[in-house]
Chain A
Amino acid sequence: MSGGRRLSRFADSLSGLPLILGATAFLGAFLIWPLAHVFVNAVRDPNGVTGIYLMYLFRNPAVLQAMGNSFLIALLVTIACTAVALPLSWLFARREFMGKAWFGGALLLPMILPPFVSAVGMKILFARAGALSTLAMKLGVADGPVDWFGAFPLTGIVLLETLHLFPILYLNLVAALANIDPSLEEAAANLGASPARVFRRVTLPLAAPGLFAGMALIFVWSFTELGTPLVFGLRRVLPVMIYDGIAEIGTNPAAYAQVVFVLVIAAIGFWIGKRLTARQRNVATLGRMSVGRQDQRLGKMGTLLAWLAVGSLLAVAVLPHLSVLMLAVSRRWFLTVLPEGWTLEFFGRALNADLTRGALVNSLGLSLAATALDVALGFAIAWLCVRRRAFGSDWLDTLAMLPLAVPGLVIAFGYLGAFGSTFRGTLLDPRFNPLLLLAAGYSIRRLPYMVRAAHAGLEQVSRTYEEAAANLGASPWRVIKRITLPLIAANLLAGGILCFSFSMLEVSDSLILAQTERFYPLTKAIYALMDGLDNGVNVAAALGAWAMAMLGAGLLWAGCILGKRVGQMFRAG
Chain B
Amino acid sequence: MTPAAITIDSLTKTFGSVRALDAVSLEIQPGELFFLLGPSGCGKTTLLRILAGLEKADSGRILFDGRDIATLPPHERGAPMVFQNYALWPHLSVAENIAFGLVERKVPKSERTTRVEEALRKVDMAGLGSRTPGQLSGGQQQRVVLARALVLNPRLILLDEPLSNLDAKLRHEMRDEIESLHARTDITFVYVTHDQVEALSLADRMAVMRGGRILGLGAPADLYHRPPNAFCAGFLGEANLFEAQLPAGAAAGAIVTIPGPLGPLSATTATSVQGAVMVMIRPEHLRPLGLPGAPPAAPDDNLFEAKVLKARMVGATIAAHLDAGGVPLRATLLNRVGVTPASLEGRTLKWAAAPSETILLARDQP
Contacts and interface: CB of A to CB of B under 8 A. Distances in A.
B58 A1 contact: yes
Given A467-B54, A483-B89, A473 B59 contact: no
A468 B81 contact: yes
A2 B90 CA distance: 39
Nearest to B91: A486
B189 to A, nearest CB: 15
Nearest to B81: A471
A300 interface: no
Nearest to A468: B87
Interface residues of B, number: 31
Contacts of A2: 58-59
A77 to B, nearest CB: 43
Interface stretch (A93-101, A318-326, A474-482, A496-504): A474-482
Chain A residues touching B, range: 20 to 34
B281 interface: no
Contact of A471 (B60, B79, B103, B105): B79
A478 B52 contact: no
A469 interface: yes
Interface string A3-22: 00100110000000000000
A465 interface: yes
B61 to A, nearest CB: 10
Interface string A475-495: 110110011001100000000
A5 B56 contact: yes
Given A5-B58, A471-B54, A472-B100, A464 B87 contact: yes
Contact of B74 (A8, A9, A470, A487): A470
Contacts, number: 76
Contacts of B75: 470-476, 478-479
Contact of A474 (B57, B81, B85, B100): B100
A470 B148 CA distance: 13
Interface-central residue, A9, A462, A468, A476, by most chain B CB under 10 Å:
A468
Interface in A132-147: none
Contacts of B81: 467-468, 471
Interface in B73-129: 73-81, 83, 85, 87, 89-91, 100-101, 103-105
A247 to B, nearest CB: 54
B152 interface: yes
A475 B89 contact: no
A492 to B, nearest CB: 14
Given A474-B75, A475-B75, A467 B100 contact: no
A462 B90 CA distance: 11
Contacts of A9: 56
Nearest to A5: B58
Given A470-B73, A471-B52, A482 B100 contact: yes
Contacts of A5: 56-59
Interface string B36-56: 000000000000000011101
Interface in B155-199: none
Contacts of B79: 471
Given A471-B52, A474-B75, A465 B89 contact: yes
A5 B90 CA distance: 35
A542 to B, nearest CB: 42
Contact of A472 (B57, B60, B101): B101
Given A2-B59, A467-B87, A487-B89, 9 more contacts: A5-B57, A464-B87, A467-B83, A468-B81, A472-B75, A472-B100, A472-B148, A472-B149, A473-B78
Interface of B: 52-54, 56-60, 73-81, 83, 85, 87, 89-91, 100-101, 103-105, 148-149, 152
Interface of A: 1-2, 5, 8-9, 462, 464-465, 467-476, 478-479, 482-483, 486-487
23 contacts: A1-B59, A5-B58, A5-B59, A9-B56, A465-B89, A467-B54, A468-B83, A468-B89, A470-B53, A470-B74, A471-B80, A472-B75, A472-B100, A472-B149, A473-B76, A473-B104, A473-B105, A473-B152, A479-B75, A482-B100, A486-B91, A487-B89, A487-B91
